[in-house]
């Protein structure tokens, strides 16, 4: 999924000329991680989909075990960080607080929760989540970064979830996307109470959202 990148990734993929690889160049007016991932799941023709950060904080070595979990019958497999202190204290504390808030929201709506609901390393059954995304497209947080929150929010209540533990590594390339807007969009995913906090936080930070 290419959001009109300028780093030559599109050119490199085209040069590979791999029949198993599909390149989708997205509308430049609709850029965003969540929008890109969600559209990618809908576009996928494979039995499973996987998402992984390209800065190597998610180890590619975890994908094999995640694939095996899917083969064993999981509907969703979540990469779960072993030691979140690697994030640094501030990010760890923020992540921990959000986890509690999101878990309470999901439990209230009788949905499955995860030990690492903020994870970006996930795998899932395409035939389970494609219709979930299509049916709830207008209610998904396209500007956000925490795709897993929306997948759990709209997924069937009886989905089978597995997890794979991994060590959260140091970023090899790129910059962190952590910003006040991440806080706003994540709050916004959690119902009317979350939207209230999103507006309040955005106002305090002077953000246009």
Give 138-152 pLDDT, tens digit per residue: 999 988 878 999 999
Range of the domain at 113: 32-177
Mean pLDDT computed over every residue of the chain: 87
In a domain, 77, yes or no: yes
The Cα 148–Cα 119 span in angstroms is 7
pLDDT for 112 beyond 90: yes
Residue 33 has pLDDT above 80, yes or no: yes
Residue 196 lies in a domain: no
Quick check: 153 pLDDT over 90?
A: yes
User: Is the pLDDT reported for residue 101 higher than 70?
Assistant: yes
In which band, very low, low, confident or very high, does the pLDDT at 58 lie, cut at 50, 70 and 90?
Answer: confident
pTM for this entry: 0.85
Residue 70 resides in a domain? yes
Burial per residue of 157-177, b for 16 or more beta-carbon CB atoms within 10 angstroms, e otherwise: eebebbbbebebeeeeeeeee
62 φ/ψ angles, rounded to the nearest 5 degrees = -75, -20
**Is 111's pLDDT higher than 60?**
yes
CB 32 within 8 A of CB 3: yes
- What end-to-end distance do the CA atoms of the chain give, in Å? 25
Is 200 within a domain? no
Helices in the chain by DSSP H: which ranges? 9-16, 33-43, 62-71, 89-108, 126-135, 147-154, 180-188, 191-205
Rounded mean pLDDT of 145-160? Answer: 94
Mean pLDDT of 161-167: 92
Q: So what's the pLDDT on residue 177? A: 59
Query: How far apart, in whole angstroms, are the C-alpha atoms of residue 152 and residue 155?
Result: 5
Domains in the chain, number = 1
């Amino acid at each position: 999924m290419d959001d009109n990148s300028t780093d030559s990734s599109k050119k490199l993929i085209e040069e590979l000329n791999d029949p198993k690889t599909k390149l989708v160049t997205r509308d430049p007016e609709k850029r965003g991680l969540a929008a890109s991932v969600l559209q990618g799941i809908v576009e996928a023709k494979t039995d499973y989909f996987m998402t992984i950060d390209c800065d190597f904080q998610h180890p590619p070595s975890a994908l094999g075990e995640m694939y095996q979990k899917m083969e064993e019958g999981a509907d969703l497999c979540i990469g779960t960080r072993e030691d979140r202190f690697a994030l640094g204290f501030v990010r760890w504390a923020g992540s921990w607080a959000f986890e509690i808030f999101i878990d309470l929201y999901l439990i209230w709506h009788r949905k499955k929760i995860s030990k690492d609901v903020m994870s970006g390393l996930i795998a899932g059954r395409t035939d389970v989540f494609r219709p979930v995304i299509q049916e709830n497209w207008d209610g998904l947080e396209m500007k956000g970064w925490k795709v897993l929150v929306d997948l759990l929010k709209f997924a069937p209540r009886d989905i089978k979830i597995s997890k794979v533990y991994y060590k959260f590594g140091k970023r090899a390339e790129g910059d962190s996307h952590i910003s006040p807007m991440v806080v706003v969009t994540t709050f916004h995913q959690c119902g009317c109470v979350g939207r209230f906090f999103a507006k309040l936080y955005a106002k305090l930070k002077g953000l246009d959202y």
